[in-house]
Structure formats: C-alpha cells, structure tokens
Chain A
Amino acid sequence: MQFKLKENRIRAKKEFEMIKITEEVRRFIRESGVKNGICYVISEHTTTGITVNESLPCVEDDLMEFLDRIAPEDFEYNHNHYLPTYGTIGGNAPGHIKSLLTGISVNFPIIDGELKLGHAADIYFCEYDGIKDRHYMIYIMGE
C-alpha cells in the first residue's frame, strides 16, 4: 500500500469563483504510480469548497448565484462583529455557510492508474472568500 500527498497552491481571479482542478488531480495520480486505490481531494480552508459538477459556465453561474441567495452578503450574521482574537471584523460568514453546503472534500476510485470520474463530471475548488492564496490536498492510497 502506498500513501502519497500533494499540496497545491491556488489563487482565484475573483472574490467568488469555481476553479476546475480535474487535470491537476489526474496528473498527480499518474505521477504517483498508483494503479488501484482511492484519491481524496481536500481543501485546507473553512471558506472554500471542493465539489464535483458539470463544467458549463451556465451551471457554474447558477450554482454560485443560488449560493448567494442562500447566504447573501448583507444578512445580519452573528459572525459580523469585532473579533478580539484577530483584531478584525468577522466579515466572511457567507463563505463559511457556502463551505458547509458544498463540503470541503471529494473522493474517487483509481482504476488502472486513472481517476474514475463520470463523463460530465469535473472537480472544482470553490473560492467563497477571495482573493487569497489557498491550498488543497490530493491524497492517494493504493497499490
């Protein structure tokens, strides 16, 4: 059994953005040499998400706009207050909520050295509190 970890840095171009990372995951699987196993993709942050969906701009827009309706910027969130532990105002409650709704990880099988993914599916890193330098992990277990 092999265990392989890679941390990728990522920076969105917008404050809120879905960024396709499928190719980065496929590339690391090939580099790992693992033929059969499982691959986890995990965000290291609490105002981002990792998800799978169809890579169409209209779908991406619908998803992000729907999340905005669930967690609008101007709602009176409990988190919007002075945080002595930071010395700042908590202003990213929508990002935390969207992260909860999306989840921060996905996992897929590796079969014959390739990611086993549905034909319409792509893996996304979702930025809900940008622009920041972010990291996500690709963790592979297998033989």
Chain B
Amino acid sequence: MVIDTHIRPALFSPICRDKESFKRRCDNMNYHLMGPASIDLLKEQYALAGIEKVFLLPSDCSFDTGKADISNDDIALLVSEAPEMFIGFASADPRNQNAQENLEKAFSELKLEGLYINTARLQIEPYDKNLYRLYEICKKYNKPIIFHCGLSLETNAISSYAKPADFERVFRDFPETNICLTHMGWPWVQETAAMLLKYPNAYSSTALMNFDGPYQIFRKVFTEDMGKLWVEHNIADKIMFGSGSPRIRPVRSFRGLDSLGFSEKVKEKIYYRNALRFLRSESTDAV
C-alpha cells in the first residue's frame, strides 16, 4: 500500500464547476494550461503507483483573496466522493477573526483529519500568536499539522517564511502534536533533517519537483544533500511519501523515490506506515 500525503486537489472536477473560482484558484496557486480531472480518472492514475489513500490539502489565504482557493467545505465534499481513499485536511487563515471558529467546525462538523498551513503564502512567521491559537485547537482535538516548508511555487508566496528551522519553536511547544514539514523543506534539506533528528513529533514528506526529473532530484536530495545513510540509519520513521500533485504525476514521483534503493523495511515506513502513525499520533518506534 502507498499513502500519498501531499495532493492539492485544485483540479478535482467536483470543485471546479464555477469557472471564475477555478481560474482564480489556478492563478493564485500557479497552475496553468491544465483542466479539471474526474475522480474516477484520478483513482486510476493513483493506482499506477499503488496509492490507496491520499491526503487532500486545502488552500486558505482568504484574508488576502476574499475566498479560500480550496476551502474546508471543498475538501469535505471531495472526501464524501471517495471516503475510502481521501483523508481531508482543514485550513484557516489566522488573520481572519473567525479562524478559530472555522477550524473548530472543520474538526467537529466536517470531520477533517488535520490542519494544513502555508506560512509562505500567508507571509507570517510559524510562531505568530494567531497561528498558535490554531495549534492549540489541533492539540485539543489531537489532530496533526502539515506545514508547507521550503520553496513555495505559489503566486505571492515568500519562501523565507517557511524555513525549516523557524518551525522549531512549534515542535518544542506542541510536543504531543505530530507536525510535518513538506517537500523535505527544499532547498533547506539539512535544516529539515535536523528537525527530524531532534524532535519525535517531526515528520517530513517527499514532494520534490523543483529541478530535473524525479530520478535526478530524489538522488540529489537523498544521497547528496543528505548523507546516503541518513534515512536508513536515522530518520526512516520520519519521512512520508507525498507526490506534490498536480505539479508532478504521482506515479512519476513514486518511481523517482523508489529508484533510490532503500531497504524494503524503510520503503514500507515511507510509503504508508509513517503516514498512519502521523495521523493517529501514536508513539514513534525506533528505527
């Protein structure tokens, strides 16, 4: 089994019916020249990589944009279309007065499974007091948090707000909350590895789509930017497969990661075991 922990459902047809909203979303999230895809087609594409479950990540910078690009209601709608496959995450723009109320509703009524925040798009520090109020809600509901981390290709995003080491206070202050830094924090990969090494509640995901093809970028990040044995010997319990679709096709991302030749035991952890533990907030097993 494979769990893809990083899919932005911007092009999922059930939430693309309003053309104006669809165009605005694609402009804000920097997706172009691509059309909506049906759920049944997406399922067939995921099956090519053995993907059976998918984290759906929203996008809410509504303080700036007036309306969330991918709202909690959108995510809930998509989950209802394929509840056996989709695991929905919530978001809330912390600059809005009703942010806490929206997040509470997402957890209690929409039954979403965690919080997704992109501090690069929000252009606020990870330890901003308004964000801390949202983290407290995650703690109360025992929900994990996924942070965009590293370079953000979205329009009007400033990546310096999403540097891995700047999340350290959050790891320290919310030790019982599982927290994921996406994209291995690229290009600050070693900072990400440092967080994974130090904090039991720290996770990262593999969505890499910056330079080269998947075979080349995964080799660069996992055998050159990081020591060749760092994953096998140190942080195998902390890394989750995530494709980063739609910027890259999930099966291609999977092939790139799979080509690295990790042991079968480590592959199982990266492909699904770590994601299951991340969701359930179970204790971390030693490698």
Binding site secondary structure of chain B:
loop
For residue B34, which residue of chain A has the nearest CB?
A: A86
Please report the C-alpha to C-alpha distance between residue A133 and residue B30 in the assembled complex, in whole angstroms.
Answer: 23
Min CB distance A82 to B, Å, is 6
Provide the residues of chain B in CB contact with A77, threshold 8 Å: 213
For residue A76, which residue of chain B has the nearest CB?
A: B216
| A2 CB within 8 Å of chain B | no
Of A15, A82, A133, the contact of B41 (CB 8 Å cutoff): A133
Provide the residues of chain B in CB contact with A133, threshold 8 Å: 38, 41
CB under 8 Å from chain A, chain B span 244-285: 246-249, 251-252, 255, 259
As a 0/1 sequence over residues 83 to 114 of chain A, the CB contacts with chain B under 8 angstroms (1 = contact) are: 00111110100000000000000000000000
Check A80/B32 contact, CB under 8 A, given A73-B255, A88-B248, A89-B248. Answer: no
Provide the residues of chain A in CB contact with B41, threshold 8 Å: 11, 131-133
Please report the C-alpha to C-alpha distance between residue A14 and residue B49 in the assembled complex, in whole angstroms.
Answer: 11
| A81 CB within 8 Å of chain B | yes
As a 0/1 sequence over residues 18 to 57 of chain A, the CB contacts with chain B under 8 angstroms (1 = contact) are: 0000000000000000000000000000000000000000
Check A88/B31 contact, CB under 8 A, given A76-B216, A131-B45. Answer: yes
Of A74, A88, A131, the contact of B48 (CB 8 Å cutoff): A131
CB distance B212 to A15 under 8 Å? no
**Number of contacting residues on B, CB 8 A?**
28
Of A86, A87, A91, the contact of B249 (CB 8 Å cutoff): A91
CB distance A82 to B211 under 8 Å? yes
Provide the residues of chain A in CB contact with B38, threshold 8 Å: 133
Check A80/B213 contact, CB under 8 A, given A88-B246, A88-B248, A91-B248. Answer: yes
Provide the residues of chain A in CB contact with B249, threshold 8 Å: 91
Provide the residues of chain B in CB contact with A87, threshold 8 Å: 29-32, 153, 247
CB distance B248 to A86 under 8 Å? no
Q: 11 A-B contacts, Cβ less than 8 Å apart?
A: A14-B48, A76-B213, A81-B211, A82-B210, A87-B29, A88-B247, A89-B247, A91-B214, A91-B249, A91-B252, A131-B41
Looking at chain A, what size class is its interface with the partner chain?
20 to 34
CB distance A82 to B209 under 8 Å? yes
Please report the C-alpha to C-alpha distance between residue A125 and residue B210 in the assembled complex, in whole angstroms.
Answer: 32
CB under 8 Å from chain A, chain B span 27-44: 29-34, 38, 41, 44
Provide the residues of chain A in CB contact with B255, threshold 8 Å: 73
Min CB distance A26 to B, Å, is 28
Provide the residues of chain B in CB contact with A15, threshold 8 Å: 48, 251
As a 0/1 sequence over residues 189 to 226 of chain B, the CB contacts with chain A under 8 angstroms (1 = contact) are: 00000000000000000000111111110000000000
Min CB distance B51 to A, Å, is 13
Min CB distance A142 to B, Å, is 34
Provide the residues of chain B in CB contact with A80, threshold 8 Å: 212-213, 216
Provide the residues of chain A in CB contact with B252, threshold 8 Å: 91
